Amino acid sequence: MSAQPTDRTAARAPDRPVILSCGDPSGIGPEIAARAWEHCGAKLPFVWIGDPAHLPRGTKIREIDRPADALRHASAGLPVLPHEFPAAALPGEPDPANAKAVIDVIARGVDLVMRGEGAALSTAPINKKALKDGARFTFPGHTEYLAHLAGVERVVMMLASSRVDPPLRVVPATIHVALSEVPKLLTPQLLRETVRITYEGLRRDFGFSAPRIAVAGLNPHAGEGGAMGIEEGDWIADTLDGLREEGYAVAGPMPADTMFHARARQNYDAAICAYHDQALIPIKTLDFDGGVNITLGLPFVRTSPDHGTAYDIAGQGRANPASLIAALEMAARMGAARHD
């Protein structure tokens, strides 16, 4: 695949704000939201949904009635759509009483973007166990719950950074499963679906007219002709041949250990990997603080910071807002690309 520009989305604020759900109020979500507004709120309006009492003391806020108000008032304070929570937020100590409200805020954010009142949705971190304990939350995480709310069966997780040159976007075909389960779960159907959803996401949300996708092999050296594994020869190569016949610009199977240096990244717009660490190690090595989690395949744009609730530092003023800022900026760019 020949090199081409890898990000053609315009770096401009949308005509609607990004919606930011509060996440677990006992984690770092409220403090990084406040710091993100200080950094980019006036030039990139976003709306925080949550209980204003959970924000750090002294946070300058502007309570609003509808997301559109944020476009006029973002410079006056963090625009807040108030959402009542039953309990206070104790840093590092999630309260089961707040679990249902955390879930309801996510659903409210989805409703707003589905109705076109927000350009995109960004979600602050949640703790799945806390939600399960407090509200019998049955979904493995944010992504599955968002797919449920949107009525979508299959979505794809992408991790992206535009702060490295060339930009890096990685997609794990299998995600939070044991390594021993990967060979059984990685099937021709899963790989085809992952390529197709990734391709459409790159076209619709990143502005690529002809996306280029690189696919990593499952085994070391992509199997090295069967000496180090047979999946590449048994079915991965044939599956990619079939996708190429359908018109997809897809390369592979490629040795994963040579895919992520700068020169190699010039040749693709996204890399699809076989399993979690194969995708996440390179992006977290190249941009640990600025990586963004993106859900492709939804009827709206969704991003989130690539970290968790960080209970151990919550409320201490030490949390780095860089990943959330990157998530908000990317949500705005993707929302603009989707609605052009």
* CB-based contact 223:253 (threshold 8 Å): yes
Task: Give the type of residue at 194.
Answer: T
Strand partners, 251: 214
Residue 176 assigned ligand-binding role: yes
Annotated binding residue at 293? yes
- Sign, Cα dihedral of 305, 309, 312, 317: positive
Is 276 part of any known ligand binding site?
Answer: yes
Give backbone dihedrals phi and psi of 214, rounded to 5 degrees, phi first: -110, 135
Alpha helix ranges (H) inside 151-310: 182-185, 188-205, 231, 237-245, 262-265, 276-286
261 marked as binding residue? no
Distance separating alpha carbons of residues 159 and 165, to the nearest angstrom? 15
Instruction: List 169's β-bridge partners, or say none.
Output: 160
Work out the number of other CB atoms within 10 angstroms of the CB of residue 161: 24
Give CA–CA dist 130/141, Å, rounded: 11
Total residue count of the chain as it appears in this document: 340
DSSP assignment of 12-58? ---SSPEEEE---TTTTHHHHHHHHHHHHTTTS-EEEEE-GGGSPTT
- The answer on whether 43 is annotated among ligand-binding residues is no
Pairing of strands 270-273, 302-305: unpaired
Whole-angstrom distance, CA of residue 314 vs CA of residue 31? 8
Q: Phi then psi for 229, rounded to 5 degrees?
A: 150, 150
Q: Are 97 and 86 in contact (CB under 8 A)?
A: yes
b/e code 133-143 from CB counts within 10 Å (16+ = b): ebbebebeebb
Answer for the pair 66, 48: CB distance below 8 angstroms, yes or no. no
CA distances from 307 to 125, 317, 333 (A): 7, 16, 21
221 is in an annotated binding site: yes
Q: Which residues define the annotated binding site for a divalent metal cation?
A: 176, 221, 276
Q: Which residues define the annotated binding site?
A: 142-143, 176, 221, 276, 284, 293, 302
Q: Which residues define the annotated binding site for substrate?
A: 142-143, 284, 293, 302
